Structure 1
Amino acid sequence: MNEQQVALIKATVPVLKENGVLLTSYFYERMFKHNPELKHVFNMGNQKSGKQQTALAMAVLAYAENIENPSVLMGVVDHIGHKHTSLDIRPEHYQIVGNHLISSIKEVLGEGATDELLEAWTIAYNQLAAIMSGHEAHIYDDKVKKSGGWTGWRPFTVKDRVNESEEITSFYLYPTDGGKIAEHLPGQYISVRLFLPELDLLQPRQYSVSNSPNGEYYRISVKKEKGSTHPDGMISNRLHDHVQVGDTIELSSPSGNFVLQNKEEGQPQVFISGGIGQTPLLAMVEDLIFNKNTDQPIVWVHGCRNERVHAFKNRLRELSAANSAFQNHLFYEQQEAENGNIKCGIVDLQQIEDKILLEDANYYLCGPAGFIRKQYEYLKQAGVDPSSIHFEEFGPASFSLN
């Protein structure tokens, strides 16, 4: 890009800050109208909630702000790249998206979309697409290099389903072809693709692998969304209500960069979750205790409504029995009195700060956006280096803290 084109891109930053979601909403509506086949690729729940439009607006804004040095966005590129490869996004999809994005800029801005501006954004988008698809090519390559690795969609058989609580059920998924499976990194997720009769669409959803690597199966633990008719809850509810032992579903291979950070032996690891957010963290703790047999301090903090909806209670007892360095702290919102390691109310790290504020510790946060932000701010104010705080928000990223 020449200097004039860079200046044109940067001049659109105020417009993107004010009207970015309007632009991306128009873009998605246009794209699905002209390419309805992409409704089978995109999560229509995130479309209905507006999360995807907001996430794209934030990404476009960040790219425009850093157009002179897009390398600073490589962390975001890697995060999005894992999401895309989990959904089997390919280079040809970027061409479709680019055509609709440039057309949307032209149609939304009207007379403000000069030929020079459209040319600058076309060049900028093609540059971004090359960065993204190039990075994703490496991720795809890494997937097929793994023993048992694959790309695209692969059939798996449900060999067991276990009720973990009143709301959460685990599904044990084995490859239908009898072959090997790629070992996931604890904390990673897989995409599940099911046909939704309500929408008359194939729909993908991502679920954390809730067990440590074992070479045989993946376990996902899914919360039933009671009374939900929103597309976001339809896949989870279909798994609960219709997918039985012996059924076949399609999976993509493990993806994600929210994984264990264990650079120094003996480094304390602190896991803080809300609700279903415990699933990737459970895989990490299982790996530390059963696969790595570590004696480093491990602190588990989890919050949910009450004991009835608390999944994996027995597994936590097994982890405590297997490793004396494992600490288990629970918060129940509907609890009248403290009972042993169970405290009343929502997760309040200040109540257990002497247990969690450990020197050189890594912190892992997972749960709803508001939950993550609250715990992150507390840890930062308590003096924890932000580079030691790792978090995963389920769904499209709606904020950036680091």
Structure 2
Amino acid sequence: MPSKATGHRQTCNADLELRLLVVQCESPLTPVGAFASFEIPKFFMSVALRGAVPPVHVLIIVVGHYLLGSRNLPDTGVLAQEIANFWFDSDNRLFPDPERIGSLEVLVCDAKHDPVTIVTPTGAVQAAKPDPANVSASLLKWAQRLASEEGSVGVLHWIGHGYGQGAEATGMTTSLLCHGGDPVDPQQQAGINWTSWLGLINQITVGRQVYCFMDACRLDPGQKIAFPGAPGQFNWGLPDHVQVFSSTSHGMPAHWIDTALPATIAAGCVSGPVGTQAFLAALACFGAKGDSGSPLPVASDEVLQASRALVKRWSEHQGLIGQRPEGPKHCLEAPLLFTKTPMSLVDVKAPAAPPDVCEAQPETHHGTSAGIQVAETNAAPHQFRLAREPHRIRLDGRNWGPPKSLFNPYVPI
């Protein structure tokens, strides 16, 4: 497992029950370390979830505290809060009508902040730790809740350390480390067999939209490691309908940036888990589908494209190697979200004429001095993050090229 400066993280979980107004809350920068449980008040349910309104159930698991101190990940409580805030942001998280957030659960442990408190729109609550028992209970409850509610949508974020073992020909297994010692051998870090759990989730949630954003290393540990799997028997022959996004490919590392370089910051990544930051950016704007109209749908294939482009860009600036997100075998066309601010990552391959810089301008401002954006890099490829609308490019400070449509998450010019 890479060090936390270039390495990775994994799980934490917190649960949101559809009961009375019992919520976890704190300031957006408050560390989250224990277990946070946000429950939507019944009076809210009777209004927002009246009738057959499909609920969206979010489970966030962040594991930042380990038996071996060198594995600890910094500020995981803050990270868990940021992810929760992302889904609580009703102004910018636009679900397909009439979907609404039905529950949000957080499991998190933070090496420096214990317990961790999560702030929700209705108050602050301590988060539970992502030990094997809490993780198993929350995963099962989350999956069963999805199965029991027609039209429901599930979202899982998992951040922490992990391993990948085996080969495609003989079967690959992904293991995720949990908080605390192993129940059988307390001197060893606890964990779960994620591959087994995915099989059970896939069986329980047939007919539902389910998205798992997994951010953990998948390097081979060099020895056989066997963690407990999901309970019961299930059918491995079922088609894979769960949309699984892994921050890295099998056998490769996932990176965590402690201190970002100036070029990485200029490209939009300040610190933290590279994969999760890419997933959230893709869901917020870069994973949009189409080039006109607002809001635009955010769907699986575009989220994967955007995540790969973002991770590649940030990794190159930071000098990190080996990380490339993987996505579902069969991407759903149905959108998970809509975005009012669709954007594209643009690389202009031609060099600018010294001493000029590469610039972009929306076609709607052509003929004026408004809206001109300077590239984030001063050498080719000149990199931009541009609104999803036609832009003109100039390389000499004087002459604008023809308008270029921006249709995809990543656009080379």
TM over 0.5: no
**TM value normalised by structure 1:** 0.27
Structure whose residues are more often strand by fraction: 2
| TM-score, scaled relative to structure 2 | 0.26
Question: Between Structure 1 and Structure 2, which shows a larger proportion of helix residues?
Answer: 1
